[in-house]
Amino acid sequence: MINEDTICAIATAQGGAIGIVRVSGPQAISITDRIFTPAGRPIPLVQREPYTITFGHIYNDAGENIDDVLVSLFRAPHSYTGEDCTEISCHGSPYILQQVMQLLITHGCRSAHPGEYTQRAFLNGKMDLSQAEAVADLIASTSAASHRLAMNQMRGGFSHELGHLRDQLLHLTSLIELELDFSDHEELEFANRTELQVLSAKIEQLISHLVQTFALGNAIKNGIPVAIIGETNAGKSTLLNALVGEERAIVSDIHGTTRDVIEDTINIDGILFRFIDTAGIRETHDAIERLGIERTFQKIDQAEIVLWLMVPTDDSDRLYELASSILPRCAHKQLIIIYNKIDQADTCPSHFFHPSLPPHTLHLSLSAKYGIHLDELRQMLIETSHLPNVSSNDVIITNVRHFEALTNALKAIQQVQQGLTTGLSGDLISQDLRECLFYLGSIVGEVTTDEVLGNIFRNFCIGK
């Protein structure tokens, strides 16, 4: 047993018709028994078969019936946490749920910390650390693609890939270290250097592929970053509000209203986009507005798609001058030039031209205020997102911690390759191999610390 405390928490959000209180730990069943009276045959929970549901009543210490409930019973090790567990299903009234929690705590439970149920599942060997992190990703998934990736990782798809890598590395390490054990016999060579180079190159290719998937995984998980830029009063905030369907940003005829970046996400046809409304670009002596404009350029660098808004009243010479600052940052991005406020123009504006325009630049006229051609913009965003169809079997990195560990593992295996090429001694090559193994092991929790676990699980919701 990892922890002798018995914990309890409300596992459902407020406002629903049904509420669930989860109890886990060595006394989970006996404590639940103290506050629960089964209907019909008065058989205590401790004497009932696991994986059954019992109808009954919960009474407070004064004998008043708090609610009619269902109690689900799980016994260690066959439960989510690997411990004895009960789940009390009652009506979703906040008062009822708090009364049940108060009774459980009075009879020996303590309130669970965020993520403590999943942390116990990890510590009790029910899942590795990457699978535990996938639980939080699954709860937070906002699109079909992010849901599939989280389900694959939670079911061990990523862990299986890492296990395959580590098996190959351990074989490589054992051959090198076997030679070190017989270092007195220089004529013995258990590890053919040519074969080791081929194997290490294969491992390097696999790790490199996983590292490269992070850009896609990050876009799927957090949304494809789309920067909305342009001069002041071009309608950037109006466009953001129109796209997300609510008054997310302040709209005003006063120039320079938006002084900082405003972000919001929206799911368009199953693809998550993260829109970034930026400060209008213009010459200004206002220090705060100037700082906002500097952040605008930073967001252009971070974006994958850039929406550059222009209006009929924009000065063409000024736009041409502005392009010299904007276009170099868009060379490897999808640029969409939007001619906004067409409801105020007598004719549709001609396409803006500049010799530095990326060849794949798209143009669209619309009215953000009245929603004219807004659907065309949404379709354009979908077509330019270039996200592949993600299946439940794809292994794609979405976690920053995993990305950092894989990046360090990649550096280590590249040092192994360099050592094999230059004829480095076996003990130094072995050290690089062990470093690679260390970083891969840290992903699944074979190498971890209380601080790392604390950082991971504190971001979970209570009750999970």
pLDDT for res 157: 85
Whether residues 20 and 112 fall in one domain: yes
pLDDT at 221: 87
Query: Do residues 365 and 234 share a domain?
Result: yes
User: Is 226 in contact with 275 (CB distance < 8 Å)?
Assistant: yes
| Residue 374 in tokens | 């807004």
Give the per-residue pLDDT at 448. Answer: 72
* Per-residue pLDDT tens over the stretch 239-261: 998 988 765 544 444 344 443 46
Task: Convert the pLDDT of each residue in 224-238 to its tens digit.
Answer: 999 998 887 888 889
Place of tokens 């076996």: 426
Residue 108's CATH number: 3.30.1360.120
pTM, two decimal places: 0.76
CA distances from 328 to 300, 301, 325, 333, 338 (A): 10, 10, 7, 10, 18
Q: Give the side-chain half-sphere CA count within 13 A for 203.
A: 32
Q: CA-to-CA distance for 173 and 432, rounded, in angstroms?
A: 10
Q: Residue 461's pLDDT is what?
A: 83
Report the CATH number that the domain containing residue 177 is assigned in CATH.
1.20.120.430
For position 257, what pLDDT does the model report? 43
Is residue 90 within 8 Å of residue 434, measured between CB atoms?
A: no
Residues in the chain, how many? 464
Q: Based on the fold, state whether residues 208 and 228 are members of the same structural domain.
A: no
Within a domain: 455: no
Chain centroid, CA 235 distance in Å: 31
Q: What pLDDT, on the 0 to 100 scale, is given for residue 104?
A: 97
- 453: in domain: no
420 within a domain of the structure (yes/no) = yes
Does 265 reside within a domain? yes
Cβ–Cβ under 8 Å, residues 73 and 31: no
Residues 151 and 175 in one domain: yes
Structural domains counted in the chain: 3
Establish if 305 belongs to a structural domain.
yes
Task: Give yes or no for a contact between 109 and 459, defined as CB atoms under 8 angstroms apart.
Answer: no
- Chain centroid, CA 422 distance in Å: 40
Query: Quick one: pLDDT at residue 122?
Result: 92
Residues 228 and 347 in one domain: yes
- The 10s digit of each residue's pLDDT in 53-79 is 999 999 988 889 999 999 999 999 999
Specify the pLDDT at position 263.
84
374 plus 434 within the same structural domain:
no
* Element holding 435 (H helix, E strand): helix 426-444
- Integer Cα distance of 228 and 300 in angstroms: 9
> How many CB atoms are located within 10 Å of the residue 179 CB?
18
Q: Say what the pLDDT of residue 85 is.
A: 97
For residue range 395-429, what is the model confidence (pLDDT) as tens digits? Answer: 889 899 999 999 999 999 999 899 888 887 777 88
Does 390 reside within a domain? no
Is-contact 121 82, C-beta < 8 A?
yes
**CA distances to 71, 74, 197, 386, 415 from 82, in Å:** 18, 9, 43, 42, 41
CATH number for the domain harbouring residue 369: 3.40.50.300
What confidence score (pLDDT) does residue 339 get? 93
Same domain membership, residue 237 and residue 362: yes
Residues 326 and 363 in one domain: yes
39 belongs to a structural domain: yes
Domain assignment of residue 185, given as a range = 143-213+396-445
Provide the residue type at 286 as one letter.
D
Residues of the chain below pLDDT 70: 1-3, 179-192, 246-261, 280-293, 345-350, 392, 447
Q: What is the largest CA-CA distance in the chain?
A: 90
Asked if residue 450 is part of any domain, the answer here is no
Q: What share of the chain is helix, strand, coil (3-state, %, to 5)?
A: 45, 15, 35
Residue 436 and residue 298 in one domain? no
196 and 251 housed in the same domain = no
370 and 298 share one domain: yes
Same domain (yes/no): 31, 120: yes
Q: Distance (Å, rounded) from C-alpha 394 to C-alpha 158? A: 9
